[in-house]
Amino acid sequence: MGTLSLLGSVLALGLAVVYGVYAVAGLLFSSAGGVLDLTGVVLVAKSLLFGALSFALSLALALFGRGRLALIVSKVCGVVFVAVFIAVLATAVVSGEEHFYEYVRVYSLSLAGGILVLFATGRRAA
């Protein structure tokens, strides 16, 4: 496995985890209201940035990565994307977020991205 592939794997996995944490934290802060609402919006915006970067890296690993680690990491990132959608959905329901449909619409991209990465990984492994 090349150094570039290993670096991409570590970076993709780290960004995917940060994406998930920022997504749920942003939703919790924005549902608190007041001054924390702006903090929540900033966290959600950061989560989308980290999610886009992680998606690009994990898709590149799934399509062009060499070695088993690249396929495993891209598969884990795909699962993380799907899990982020489920976590955001559950958090929005539990917290009674008034902008529930906006969060579902935005983070449905996470679900679609996760399915795409998992599909690309499965095609590559076969």
- Check pLDDT > 80 for residue 74: yes
Q: What is the 3-state secondary structure (H, E, C) of 41-66?
A: HHHHHHHHHHHHHHHHHHHHHHHHCC
pLDDT digits (tens, 9 = 90+) for 1-10: 577 777 888 8
CA distance to 12, 67, 74, 87, 89, per residue, from 95 (Å): 29, 42, 31, 12, 10
- Check pLDDT > 70 for residue 34: no
Q: How confident is the model at residue 20 (pLDDT cuts 50, 70, 90)?
A: confident
Q: What is the pLDDT of residue 35?
A: 64
Q: What is the pTM of this model?
A: 0.83
- Rg of the chain taking only CA atoms, in angstroms: 15
- CA distance linking residue 66 with residue 16, whole number of Å: 20
Residue 2's SS3 state is coil
Between 69 and 82, name the one with better pLDDT.
Answer: 82
- CA distance linking residue 115 with residue 90, whole number of Å: 19
- Check pLDDT > 80 for residue 33: no
